[in-house]
Structure 1
Amino acid sequence: MSQAPAKEENPLVNIIINVLLPTIILSKLSKEGDAVYQLGPTLAMVVALALPFGYGIWHWVKHKKLNIFSCVGLGAILLTGLITIFLWKSPEAKPHVALIFGLKEAIQPLILGSLFLITRRSSNPLFRTFIYNDSIFDVKRIEQSVAEKQRISEYDGLIWKCTLLFFGSFCISAVLNLGLSFYFLGDLEATNPDWRTVYNEQVGRITFWGFLVIGAPLMIVAFYILYTMVNGLEKLTGLDRETLLVPR
């Protein structure tokens, strides 16, 4: 008997555990004080890093492959934590907090977006993981039809075009992240005695509004890429949309 297909992981759970929860921990528990939840910046970073690190180890043991969300989460939290410690220990850097934090926020999506280009010719391209995969498209039938019609170069061109569009969406995210950092941290007074508290609160707001201001445009771009992919495959293969897509 054939084995049942492995259950697909929920991307939302991945994002919550590897990105959202660690960021909230870092922004809310980094205060220094006597309360049990006031861990300080160093210990808060350790706790925040434990989530994506632990999830990444579990994913590796179960699936024998890296979890890209865990890698991104580890990098994001480590950068945020190190920048927070640097800002708190270096008074001369405080006037530039919006630029420093904004560059960090912009670099993260650029790195992730670049991985779509770097892994394009690998055995497991990220574009196929996120968009063009067997849970959405009937890839085997599509590639068989493309081969029969001898349109492989056009097929590769379509995938490359959509990969570039996906990379472009991360570039948009980088610009919006930088803008959010200047909006929320641009007027932070370096001489404010509650500077650390205000900083933590603003980082939390950047995280919250980032999901709204950045998430919505990225969803629109993702749907446009999916629309472009489906229409391009219809023209290349002659198959209709119901045949191209896996029944839900």
Structure 2
Amino acid sequence: MPQPPSPTTTANVPGKSESLLLNLAFNIIFPTIILTKLSGDNYLGTRLAIVVALAFPVAYGLKDFVAARKINFFSALGVVSVLLTGGISLLRLDPAYIAIKEALVPAIFGLATLVSLKTPYPLVKTFLYNDKILQTDKIAAVLEQNGNGRLFEKLLANASWLVAGSFFLSSVLNYLLATLLITGQPGTVEFNEQLGKMTALSFPVIALPAMLVLMGALFYLFRGITRLTGLSLEEVIHHHEKHGD
């Protein structure tokens, strides 16, 4: 169930702290409580607990879709991942499939990031180098003036490898965490509790290390932009100001 952090969250946009709290609540806190505390026969039971617990991250993913009014590949894959967890659990398949699925999803993210380098739309521009964070038009104009466009493309490629590295790190950590924790058989209270524990540990064990790598990629990109353009970070980053009535 643990998902790699979205790269766009590495640069906090003012006013988005509430979204982070909702993200943690719907994807980690609520599912963990339900799986670890309410899976017994005197509460929800193993099957219904799985359904209710996984309904929270699915609902959060659908909320993002409604808010954006378009399908985001990474959000969609996250919802599919949650549904696969539910399917494996409800069909009582071998727990090894959980570990494989947990490793596969972030690995797909990483591969997509690298493959996109061969297209006109590298994903690093969506994640880190976008006009919500940076004044991209201003940066592009200065790069054209000083002839550093090719060096900038190399900078973006290197940043893409760092972003992909964060996903591959998440993939390895996901697999190890799932392999170590999920030993019970689906359909048992033990399995649900282990799945809940894995969900709870996903943030400190998986998300935080991956986010540190992403922050490193963001710092590397910002530093390269200031070096290639001669502009300060204050001159290229967007400043979100609150306007009164």
Provide Cα deviations, 1:60-106, integer angstroms capped at 9, x if missing partner.
Answer: 5553322445313311211111211233xx5xx4xxx3x33211111
Amino acid at match of 1:107: L
Amino acid at match of 1:201: E
Contact 2:32 2:200 in 1 (8 A): no
Separation of aligned partners in 1, 2:163 and 2:105: 15
Say yes or no: does 1:74 pair with 2:67.
no
What is the aligned counterpart of 2:88 among 83, 86, 97? 83
RMSD of aligned C-alpha atoms? 3.3
Provide Cα deviations, 1:177-227, integer angstroms capped at 9, x if missing partner.
Answer: 111122223xx366xxx9711111111111111210112211221221112
Say yes or no: does 1:205 pair with 2:197.
yes
Provide Cα deviations, 1:7-53, integer angstroms capped at 9, x if missing partner.
Answer: 98666267447743685488459847363x33x53x55655565555
Separation of aligned partners in 2, 1:77 and 1:52: 7
- 2:225 maps to which residue? 233
Say yes or no: does 1:114 pair with 2:111.
yes
Contact 1:165 1:225 in 2 (8 A): yes
Give the paired residue count.
Answer: 226
Say yes or no: does 1:222 pair with 2:227.
no
Give the 3-state SS of the residue equivalent to 1:205 in structure 2: helix
- 1:151 maps to which residue? 148
C-alpha change, 1:143 and 1:215, in structure 2 (3 Å) is: same
Give the 3-state SS of the residue equivalent to 1:133 in structure 2: coil
Note the residue ranges of structure 2 that are not aligned, 5 or more in a row: 1-13, 241-245
Separation of aligned partners in 1, 2:98 and 2:158: 32
Higher relative contact order (CA 8 A, sep 6+): 2
Amino acid at match of 1:238: G
TM-score (norm 2): 0.75
Provide Cα deviations, 1:84-139, integer angstroms capped at 9, x if missing partner.
Answer: 1233xx5xx4xxx3x3321111111112222323444355x542333222232221
C-alpha change, 1:45 and 1:72, in structure 2 (3 Å) is: farther
Note the residue ranges of structure 1 that are not aligned, 5 or more in a row: 1-6
What is the aligned counterpart of 1:196 among 174, 180, 188? 188
Separation of aligned partners in 1, 2:15 and 2:79: 22
Contact 2:166 2:211 in 1 (8 A): no
- 2:125 maps to which residue? 128
TM-score (norm 1): 0.74
Separation of aligned partners in 2, 1:66 and 1:17: 23
Separation of aligned partners in 1, 2:125 and 2:30: 27
Asked which structure has the greater CA Rg, the reply is 1
Percent of counterpart pairs with the same letter?
30
